[in-house]
Each structure stands twice: as C-alpha cells, then as structure tokens.
Amino acid sequence: MSLANAALPADLDDRHVLALPAGTDVAPLATAWFPAADWVRHPVPSEQPPARARPTRGARFRGSVVDVAPPLPGLLRLDDALALSGPVTVDAQVAGSAGMPARDHDLYTLVPSPADPANDPSSDAPTDPVADPVTDPVAEPPAGPSLDLALGWFTAAARRAGGVILPADRSRVVAPDPGAAVDLTLWSAQLVPADDLLPLVRPALSGARTAAVDVPAPPGTAPAARPAAVVGTYEYDGAVRVATSRSTDMPVALAGLSWRDYGPWVYRVTWVPTEPVELEQEHTSHLHQIARARVAPAVARATAALQRAVGGTVVDGGGFVVTPDELAARAAATTR
C-alpha cells in the first residue's frame, strides 16, 4: 500500500483524485471545460443535518443528544459519461502524510455519471439522487474520450487553483505549476485594425515591432481586417507575440456568457521562451522560471491594453476566464 493510500480515506483507493485547497468552488472550474456540468446532489457538510432529519422536541427529549450526520459528498455531473464525487475534506496533517502540501484539501474523484431516467424512460436506473457511486466497488469511470478529457481537466483545474493530482496508482503526487499558464487570449466582438495593433500594444511591450503572421488572410478580406502580429523581443527572456485573427472555434468557458461579452475577433498574447521545449516539460529550469516571471506581467499588460480598446473576455491557457481584476493583478505583479 502506498503512503497516499494509507493516509487517505479507503473509499478513494485506486481512483484518480483531484485535491484542491479547501473551500475552492469546483463548479466554475468544471463548467469551463464541461458546459453542462451541474450538481446532481450538493455536498452536505457534517454540521448540517440532512433535510429529512427531524429535531427532537418536547420535555421528554430534554437533555438528549442528537447525532450529527456525517458529511455527504456531492455529485457533480460533468457529462453523460462521468461525474465528480466530493468533496472529502482532509486536514493539513493527513494531506502532508499523503505527500501533498500540508494544508487542508478538498478531494474529488471521478465516478460514472448517474443515469438520467428523464432522458431514457425505459431505464431501470435508480432515481434516488442521494445514491453515491463512490462507495460502489464496481463504479469505475469508463475509459474513453470522456475520461481523457476529464484527466486533462484535472491538470488544468489543479494548475488554476493551486491543487494537486493523485493518480489512481498513487505512484506520485502531481503538482502542476500555477505559473505555467502565462498565455492569454482575448475574444472580442470588435476589431483592432491591423495598422493600429502595434501602437496599441507597444507601451506594454518595449521594442515591439510588426511580425509575419501565421495564417494568411482569407480571400476578399478587407485590409483592416487582415490577420496581424506584433512581437516584443527580450535578450534573456524570449519574446512576447500578439497575433490577431478571426475564429469561430471558441473555448467552452465562453458558452455560459452573454454574446455581448465576446466575439469572433481573437487576440492571442503568447510567450515564446528562449528554450521553447521547456513549455512541454513538467519540471522547468530555474532560468526558465525567472524569465517567465519577468515576462508574465508584460503579457497581462498587452492583453489589458487590448481589452480596454475593444472589450471582450480574456481566457487563460488552461481554458478559464480571467476577470479584469485578476488581469490587473497579473499586470501589476512586477515591472520589467
């Protein structure tokens, strides 16, 4: 038995576990990747008795002790194949014993999505929403595209929230680097004409210049609407590239927003380090991390300048919406 399995509740053995800092709201993280994600059963904390419990009343019950119901994990349906069961909360001591950072964590695990009799009248599936597949020894998440997507979301959600992942085999604790999500993309209904892009972002990117575009303009594109690119180059830190284009391949995170909050004009602000291969590595060099810390505010400032000009919604490299306050905090993190 691994150290993690010995420390964590037995119900989580042999299951992929997403561990988020205690109190993290997991639902917005889920809907960024799974637009139909919704609670089938909301979590019930231990200090809150179930709604069906009746308090004891009357003189003859005075002095009696009412047992507090144990916590009941919630069930968050991700899609037709998978759901998320949790949280199971562990304190800092248990987390540290399992190899995680020594702080309170909320643990979530993947289980098969509960059948929905409303969508299948012939189904014999139970209709009790309190039934908990995490305690069912045969309730293993099915392999396939949904599982692959969910495990990818585990990584993105852990990076976004500062959490960790415990693979089913408990071979290690995976702690995605929160600082790795440097790139930002603005989706707007308004266009910055190609000739206006450079003067707009140059104050945020010292030494910026016009660059070649990655994709050609579609036939018949007006000059002002043609794809454009600007690059700011730094001797030790690589380059920051701002590229504009038009796209209908929008991230899932925008699906729940008003159509007024985004549009088809895409402004991608990306960092190209001196050693691009490190972007794909789980453990990066100290020099890469230093360069990233210096460049990240410039990426945020360029994105903020674009958003002030054309509005829209910013999405980070993990597919999550970045609020204006978060964008401002990123931009103010340091000064080159």
Nearest to 26 by CA among 268, 69, 17: 17
Q: What is the pLDDT of residues 214-225, one digit of tens each?
A: 777 777 778 778
What confidence score (pLDDT) does residue 67 get?
59
What confidence score (pLDDT) does residue 323 get?
95
In this prediction, residue 44 has a pLDDT band, given cuts at 50, 70 and 90, of: confident
H-helix segments, 83-165: 92-97, 145-161
> What is the Cβ-side half-sphere exposure of residue 195, based on CA atoms within 13 angstroms?
3
Quick check: bond before 87 cis, omega within 30? yes
- For residue 170, is pLDDT > 80? yes
Average pLDDT over residues 276-295: 90
Q: What DSSP assignment string belongs to 190-254? A: S---HHHHHHHHTTTSTT-EE---SSPPPTT--GGGS-EEEEEEETTTEEEEEEEEE-S---GGG
Pairing of strands 184-188, 321-322: unpaired
Look at phi and psi of residue 77 and say left if phi exceeds 0, alpha if psi is from -120 to 50, else beta. Answer: beta
What confidence score (pLDDT) does residue 126 get?
45
* Predicted TM-score of the model (pTM): 0.82
Percentage, residues of the chain above pLDDT 90: 57
- For residue 128, is pLDDT > 60? no
Q: Cα-atom radius of gyration of the chain, to the nearest Å?
A: 24
- For residue 29, is pLDDT > 90? yes
